[in-house]
Chains A and B, each alone.
Chain A
Amino acid sequence: MEAIINLTINGLATGMLVFLLAAGLTLIFGLMDVLNFAHGGLFAWGAYAGVWSYGQTGSFVAGIITALITGLILGLLMEKFIVTPVYGNHVQQILITLGVMIVLSEMLKVVWGPNQLSAKTPEYLSGSWEFGGVILIKYRLFIIFIGFLVFFLIYYILKNTKIGLIVRAGVINKEMVQSLGINIKRIFMLVFMVGAAMAALGGVLLGPYSGQIYAEMGMEFAILAFIVVVIGGMGSITGSLFAAILVGLSGSFMAYYVPELSLAVNMLLMAVVLIFRPQGLFGAKG
């Protein structure tokens, strides 16, 4: 029983990190029809900038804020100079964003060196609680809390604000949104920036979780995030949360019980969903 609870918490924590990456990706995908393969690079930059700032100031909150600002700035620059010229052309999007992904990863080595950076858990989040043999690691619970907090915040904005309504409408029919007098390009930019900031937040949270960060981590997590977006349905935040939890839990349980299947399980999940529900579990209908 203890093992199951621990595996569940591990799975949920990993799922939430992937969710932070996938949430931005799914909105960018759904609203802007942009295949952003550089999204993992934003995750890695958030991790490096945040962990560096945390190391310099000794404040984890400062690290999180630095990561968020880094994400917002990189998101703005990427949308304006990289993505805007290739709107509507998937092949060009894949090529250029993959290129940017490589550049972003290599730039991390230029700025912070080729070695891994270590990140320790802040004191107030380190340690664990024990309940009847079950060990609850505080930092993992913190990640789960942040993941759900971000989800409910985005969900609230999408459901209850005008900007959220416009984003949801834009996912369904961009042309009509423009015909109603709304500057969709501005909305695109905003969504891209927020998506990038969420990825960066995921990155900095990963630091103390795994203890070390490295330049290639972006690509590794981006692949998981793409799987989550496909399973959850493009443009659906709820779908991303659900799929991220599914991917996190299945990875965690499989690694424990059937380790030889742990790498394949996510691909299998995606294949099954694509066969029976190609639009994803929560895919939006037009």
Chain B
Amino acid sequence: MTLHLKVEGIETYIDQFHILQGISFEAKKGEVTVLLGRNGAGKTTTLRSIMGLNPPAKGKIEFNGESISGLATYHIATKGIGYVPEDQGIFGELTVEENMKVAIKKENEETKERLDYILNLFPDLKKFWKRKGGNLSGGQKQMLSIARAYVNNNDLLLIDEPSKGLAPIVVEKVMESIQEMKSKTTIVLVEQNFIMASTIGDRFFIIDDGRTVHHGEMKELKENEHLRKQYLGIA
């Protein structure tokens, strides 16, 4: 399988705090790679470091064989990486339609097809097309955030805790959609909800205290209760 994203020994500081102290992982094409770990382990900072929002002080990040370390955030995004932040990053005063318009890089036939596809996947967005982003429910905001990242022909989606704060039925819907998108794009997922992560993930990397401490196939983690207890605190 072709390697899409390769993160090698990145170290990131936020102010004086040494948050990431050596994160390494890869994401392969067509797979869902899940970053797991306790609260504050460094998962979100890892995604932000890849996007250049918290640029790493050390280490290398390669995307499709090309170094993206040190590039500006907008430049990284134009390489074909879509980002769904933990807080969803919705432009609350803009309508759903306007949120999508800001995201769309090129208005062509392909984008239209992708837009149709994502609106079929999330019919609520079509229904509330003219509603302000700030007036959507938590689940609808999450859908909008994923749709914005997906609508361009991105090779890779970085999705940060899509299930956070959502009702179980909405989580199921989001999970189904990510599973559906998996056939079209590579996904790196940060997720605390182990059931969700283990259902859609192909491979996992565990982050603890700013370091990657374990990785493998998802089925291995499903079967290894000791590992789950040790790093994730779940049986």
Contacts and interface: CB of A to CB of B under 8 A. Distances in A.
A172 B105 CA distance: 19
Interface residues of A, number: 21
A178 B93 contact: no
Interface of A is mostly: helix
A134 interface: no
Given A168-B91, A172-B93, A179 B85 contact: yes
A179 B152 CA distance: 12
A176 B74 contact: no
B92 A286 contact: yes
B178 to A, nearest CB: 18
A173 B148 CA distance: 14
B136 interface: no
B72 interface: yes
B202 interface: no
Nearest to B80: A181
Contacts of A284: 93
B101 A162 contact: yes
Interface in A240-286: 284-286
A162 B99 CA distance: 11
A20 to B, nearest CB: 24
B196 interface: no
Contact of B77 (A172, A181, A185): A181
B102 interface: yes
A285 B134 contact: yes
B94 interface: yes
B74 A184 contact: yes
Contact of B102 (A165, A175, A285, A286): A165
B74 A182 contact: yes
Nearest to A183: B74
In this complex, which of A162, A176, A180 has the most chain B Cβ atoms within 10 angstroms of its Cβ? A180
Given A172-B92, A284-B93, A177 B152 contact: no
A136 interface: no
Interface in A154-195: 162, 165-166, 168-169, 172-173, 175-185
Interface of B: 51, 53, 72-75, 77-78, 83, 85, 89, 91-94, 98-99, 101-103, 105, 134, 148, 152
Interface of A: 162, 165-166, 168-169, 172-173, 175-185, 284-286
9 closest residue pairs by CB, A with B: A176-B89, A181-B77, A178-B73, A181-B78, A179-B83, A169-B91, A183-B74, A172-B91, A169-B102
12 contacts: A162-B101, A165-B94, A165-B101, A165-B102, A169-B102, A172-B94, A175-B73, A175-B85, A176-B89, A179-B77, A179-B85, A182-B74
